Every structure is written in C-alpha cells, then in structure tokens.
Amino acid sequence: MRINFRKALFSLLAAGAISLCTHSIANAEFFSKGGRAITTSKVNARVEDSMSSDRIGGIAINSEVERIFSSTTGYDLVRYNNFLGFVSNEYLTDLDLDVESPYSFQEMHTNARVIEGLRLRVGPSTDYDVIDSMNAKTVVRVLAAMDNGWYLVNHENKLGFCDGEFLQLLNYSVTENYELASDVPNLIPAVVATENVKIRAAATTESEKLDLLHTGESLKAIEKMPNGWYKVDYKGREAYVCGDFVKETYIIEGDCYKRVYFPETRVIYNEPRGYVMGEVPQFEMAEVYYEDDSFYLVKINGLVGYINKRDVKLLNNTYVVVDISEQKLYLYSGDELVLTTDVVTGKDTKDRRSDLGIFKIRAKKRDVNLTDGKTYSSHVDYWMPYNGGEGLHDAKWRKKFGGEIYKKNGSHGCINLPPSITPTIYNTVEVGTQVLVKR
C-alpha cells in the first residue's frame, strides 16, 4: 500500500513549522511495511535505497532487524543495534507477516540547513537514542518527511531522524531543472578511492592483485557489477575494485584554469542545485574546470561536483598552499604549478600545531635567528613570516621531510622547508602573496 502524506505535510507548512518550496516533493517511492525480519546472509547497510549508494556498515547473518519502511527499489530501511541503514530485502526473511510500518512518511529529495544545534536520533521523536549531534549551519540531505514534523536525513553518511522545527529546507532540490551551457566539459564516469583499495584481475578478493588505488585517486568506471564491485579501466585493460572502498565520481575532460578556497565549511553538489554529495571543510581548496553565473564545476581531492560561487573566494596570481595531512607545499603562479615539495609542519599537539587559514606573506628576510627566548633558537637563511611567529623557512637541521615526522617531531608552528628548494620559493613569492594552510 503506497502512502501519500502530502496533505499532512502541507498542514505543517500552514502551521509555519517548516518552510518548503512545492517542487521539493518527489513522487513517493517508499511504502508502508514494518515488522521484524532476520538476515539470511551477511548484508551491507547503505545510506540510500540503491546498491550504488555509500556503504555505512555490515549486518551479520541471522541478525534480527526492525523494518521502518520499504522502497520500490527493493531496499528496506531498518534499525539495528541503534543505527539505521538501507538493506536489500533479498536478504531478509519476515518474522512478522503483514505488518504495516507504524510511521507515516513522504519521500523527499532536498537539502536542509540546521538552524541551531540539533540531535540526530534512531527514531522520529525525543524518546529515541541520540546517534550524533549537528552544529548550526550544517547542511544535510533530507530523504523523507514524517507526519509528526520530523525528517529522515543523511548527515555525513549517517542516517537518522531530526525535528523539522530546527531545519531550514533550502529553496532548491534535485527535482528542480537547471540549464547548463553547451560548453560544459565532458564528464567521464569514474570511481575515486575513499581509502586505499586493491585493483584486482576479477571481481573477487581471491583474484590476482594488480596494483593499489590510493585514497583520492580515480579510475574510469566501465560497469557496476551485481556484487557491488566496479569494472574499471586500468592502464588500458579491464580490472576491478571493491565498491565498499570507492565512491562514484567523474573524470573531467578539460583543464583546471583557476583555484578557489572555502572560508567556511560548505557543501558540494552532484549537479547545480542537486543533492549534497558531502561537506567541504573550511579552508579546503578546489580546482575549477567550468563556471556559469552561479556555480563552479570543481574537483576536490578526487571528487567532482558543483559548488556555489558565493561559498568560495579566489586564489589569484602567485600563492602557496600547505597541506597538513599530506605534509606538502604547493607553489602556484596563476594556474600553473611551479613546484611541489615535502615539508614538516607544526608538531601535532595543541600548543604547536600550524594554524589553518588564509594568510599573506608579511616580510622576506635573510639570515635570521628564530627563537622563543626560552626553548629553542634556530638560524635560518630564508624567513617568510605569514601569521605572527609562523612562517616559511629552510630547516638545515632536518635530514628528512614529509610523511608523519610532524606528529612527534614537528616544528613550533612554522613550515620547515628543504634547504635546496627554499631559494626558489623565496625568489618567487612577494610580500602580500597568499598562503593557504589546510588540512
């Protein structure tokens, strides 16, 4: 029995509990089926009702789950051990027959912003346990509206329910048309590794290992296999990667012509005014491949999507990017990468971590003695301060750079550079050159 609670939803609108554009409601694909079930095999739990959506966990064979509702795609939303996920009903056997869901709902595909601090729960009321907390201005994807004013949402690949009183539904959704110009670069379907994953000769863990696809690296996708693996193009031959460790994305046929950064945490969309693919952390950098009046087509750490122009600021002329997690420095001149080098940043402790942010070179000096007057004193040949006592400088006392050195033997906040590369950086940057330090 298909449920349509559009009338109940609009009664909430009339009461002023939520704000919603009428185009945000999609045709219902969820229907009422409840009761308990048992898994007939080990089964993956996913964030949406399709095999292509992200895996959020596994449920062991012979586990009892509570069905919340079903989808016409063959997936059921279930509750198990205080977490929610969509599982294929092919691997479920009913323990309770002909039981309707106790919940009334309407499928939705839209985005929402948290108005103030909000808790994510395993059920649509405050009687249920808390899964996670969300800060104000966090953007979530809304999957369904309940008739009591609560919503089923996806927050950072966690499914849960939250009170709609504290959500602002955004004024566009995945159902709204948006015209793109004809000169948009061609996008080739691909997969990007969410963690290191083995490239294999066949779609099984027992097959020959060909190589390792590192986190953030992409391969052209040929086909999604029935078992959740992907057939990919690896150096001109067919190969396979496990779908649990990759995410669908695109390879852009075109060149990056500018770079931007995020002054605040924002989101990336699958298409202009589409659904939220994920959050982009504050001070992250994006490569731009196309733009119109409102959106940029970008690549961020291997993920391809669209961002709102008003959410970012331009990196222009000559600029330096320091990536804490990679322990690398990138020097750009316009849209050209001048050099890349391993570095050592501040020690990974509260009092010595390098500050994240966007800064400017404040001075360029030679033959400087750096000291805090108490614990250290170091002579450097090149000194380029950008944030109080933090700056770029050579570090003749270090034999190695990069890797995880910074975690136990990092600097006092400065960016330590290999002596051989420092003169090039010094001679390229000017006072006022932007320095973006990101994680």
Q: Which CATH superfamily is domain 258-315 in?
A: SH3 Domains (2.30.30.40)
Let me know: does 101 contact 61? Beta carbons within 8 Å: no
CA–CA gap between residue 430 and residue 30 (Å, rounded): 59
CA–CA gap between residue 432 and residue 227 (Å, rounded): 54
CA–CA gap between residue 280 and residue 277 (Å, rounded): 10
Classify 218 as helix, strand or coil: strand
Could you give the maximum distance between any two Cα atoms of the chain, in Å? 81
Domain chopping of the chain, boundaries: 188-251, 258-315, 318-438
Whether 258-315 and 318-438 share one fold: the answer is no
Q: What is the DSSP string of 52-110?
A: TSPEEEEE-TT-EEEEEEEETTSEEEEEETTEEEEEEGGGEEESSSS---S--EEEEEE
Q: Residue 247: what pLDDT? A: 86
CA–CA gap between residue 425 and residue 417 (Å, rounded): 9
Quote the pTM value.
0.67
Q: Residue 29: what pLDDT? A: 55
CA–CA gap between residue 306 and residue 291 (Å, rounded): 9
Which of 144, 76, 46 has the alpha carbon at shortest distance from 104? 144
| Cα dihedral across residues 337, 343, 348, 349: positive or negative | negative
Topology given in CATH for the domain delimited by 318-438 = L,D-transpeptidase catalytic domain-like (2.40.440)
CATH architecture type of domain 188-251: Roll (2.30)
Residue by residue, pLDDT tens for the chain (439 residues) are 222 222 333 233 333 332 332 223 233 356 667 789 999 999 999 988 877 777 888 999 999 999 988 888 889 999 998 899 999 999 999 998 778 877 777 877 778 889 989 999 999 999 999 999 998 888 888 888 888 889 999 988 899 999 999 998 875 444 445 566 667 888 899 999 989 999 999 999 999 999 999 988 999 999 988 888 999 999 999 999 999 899 888 889 899 999 999 999 888 888 886 777 778 999 999 999 999 888 999 999 888 999 999 999 999 889 999 999 999 999 999 878 999 999 999 999 999 999 999 999 999 999 999 988 788 889 999 999 999 999 999 999 999 999 999 999 999 999 999 999 999 999 999 999 999 999 9
Rounded to whole angstroms, what are the CA distances from 254 to 184, 185, 251, 289, 297?
A: 9, 6, 9, 7, 11
